[in-house]
Structure 1
Amino acid sequence: MNILKQGLLASLLCVPALAFAVATPGETAPSFSEVDAEGNVHALSDYQGEWLVLEWFNKDCPYVRKHYGSGNMQALQKKYTEQDVNWLTIISSAKGKQGYLDAPQAQAEAKAHKMQNSAPILLDPDGSMGRAFGAKTTPHMYIINPAGEVVYAGAIDDNDSANPAVIAESKNFVAAALDAALAGEPVAEPATRAYGCSVKY
């Protein structure tokens, strides 16, 4: 393989996955029913009348590690769950694929990361929930309002570097969307391109 081809291959491998969400802002969120790491079932209907954030997770993804290793994701979880926003973290990695965790492993991972979400990690090994929402990357973020409508879908912020040093200077789309929506104001950017590792269906 010549140097030019090697360079092209390397650049392709290093580019983060980018995708537009299937769950469309302004429309009703896809229904779901999934079991969490403690065996409890969570359905969209359980959150009727409440705010809900969905976050796709893969412990081995450097972009997930960017936001968890820095404490950024946990800080967002804590800030908004304290404002009565529900926050669900979902693993859609298939068994045998990168990021897959069984229930005990998921509980241990949540404890190790000191997650501040409102329920144990949801396990979606068949990918049904992830595909319904069009989750393509980890992280991939969605905000659903009390009427069950998607008000935001996309990236956590505007910097697709895996380096946590960029977080302080990045615009956090999720925080901006939640702050606006909770204040009864329109979300300025309801859809953005998600970045991260591809979901391992």
Structure 2
Amino acid sequence: MSHAQPQAGPQIGAAAPNFTATDANGRKVSLADYKGKTVVLEWTNDECPFVKKHYSSQNMQALQKKWTGKDVVWLTLISSPPGEQGYADAAKANKLTADRGAAPTAVVLDPAGDVGRTFKAQVTPHMYVVKPNGVLAYMGGIDDKPSSKVEDVKGAKNFVDAALTELSEGKPVSTTTARPYGCTVKFTS
């Protein structure tokens, strides 16, 4: 096997793969457009109990509001294809955002799963933090309590919040990867 082969998928400390997709408002969104800003990628599926835990507890919305208020770009991605759990067209995605009081910068629609496959997103919520220079700083689970129980949000170590806090203070990210947990991303076959 040749050593020139690039490693598959995103790597901590390397440039995050660029992507271009359409958001729920019909706008083109490209990771490259946000160079110079910290970006959070959140894979979601509104029917997943693990996602519901973080939205019904207001945990995800609180994180979105806290960090977008500090000039962090928050992209929520839906990679479920039509007919699969979690699929949302633009109208449904916008209704979910409004109904849940969510505050992402944009909801990116990825029904073909291209962005999800590029990032090797496995589950919902699978979380990624990209530094302003485009380098991947964190990928994995949102926290250290891999359950669907709302009460487990309290007392959990939130790796995304910790990574964003460390980056905002000019510190290195202490936990760069954690086991992602949740519902499997339902890619098209």
Runs of 4+ in 1 over 4 A off after TM superposition: none
**Unaligned 5+ runs, structure 1:** 1-20
TM-score, with length taken from structure 1 = 0.88
Say how many residue pairs are matched: 180
Offset of residue 70 of structure 1: 0.4
What code does the residue aligned with 1:182 have? S
Question: Counterparts of 1:102 and 1:72 in 2: how far apart (Å)?
Answer: 24
**Structure whose alpha-carbon radius of gyration is higher:** 1
Q: Which runs of 5+ in 2 are unaligned?
A: 1-7
Give the one of 166, 175, 179 matched to 2:152: 166
Residue matched to 2:76: 89
Residue 113 of structure 1 is aligned with which of 100, 121, 130?
Answer: 100
Q: Contact 1:58–1:138 at 8 Å: present in 2 too?
A: yes
Partner of 2:5: none
Whole-Å Cα distance in 2 between the matches of residues 181 and 22 of structure 1? 23
Cα deviation digits, residues 139-174 of structure 1 (max 9, x gap): 000000111010000010000111010111110000
- CA distance in 1 between counterparts of 2:175 and 2:71 reads 22
SS in 2 for 1:194: coil
Larger RCO, structure (CA 8 Å, separation 6 or more): 1
Distance in 2 (CA, whole Å) between partners of 1:184 and 1:149 is 14
Q: 2:174 aligns with which of 163, 188, 191?
A: 188
Are residue 145 (structure 1) and residue 145 (structure 2) matched? no
Letter in 1 for 2:167: A
Number of the residue aligned with 1:126: 112
Q: Secondary structure at the match of 2:118?
A: helix
| One-letter code aligned to 1:61 | C
Alpha-carbon RMSD? 1.0
- Residue identity over aligned pairs, in percent, reads 48
- SS at 1:104 equivalent: helix
1:1-201 residue pairs with structure 2 within 5 A? 22-119=9-106, 121-201=107-187
Counterpart amino acid of residue 138 in structure 1: T
In the alignment, the residues of structure 2 paired with residue 23 and residue 75 of structure 1 have an alpha-carbon distance, to the nearest angstrom, of 27
Cα shift at 1:22: 3.5
Per the TM alignment, residue 194 of structure 1 is displaced from its structure 2 partner at its CA by: 0.4
Alpha-carbon deviation of 1:103?
1.0
**Separation in 2, partners of 1:168, 1:174:** 15
Cα displacement (A) at 1:107: 0.8
Measured in 2, the distance between the counterparts of 1:169 and 1:192 equals: 17
Cα deviation, residue 44, structure 1 = 1.1
**What are the Cα deviations for residues 54-113 of structure 1, in whole angstroms up to 9, with x where unaligned?**
000100000000000000000000111111000000000011111101111111111111
Question: What SS does the aligned partner of 1:106 have?
Answer: helix
| Contact persistence 1:22–1:135 (CA under 8 A) | no
Q: Distance in 1 between matches of 2:151 and 2:103?
A: 22
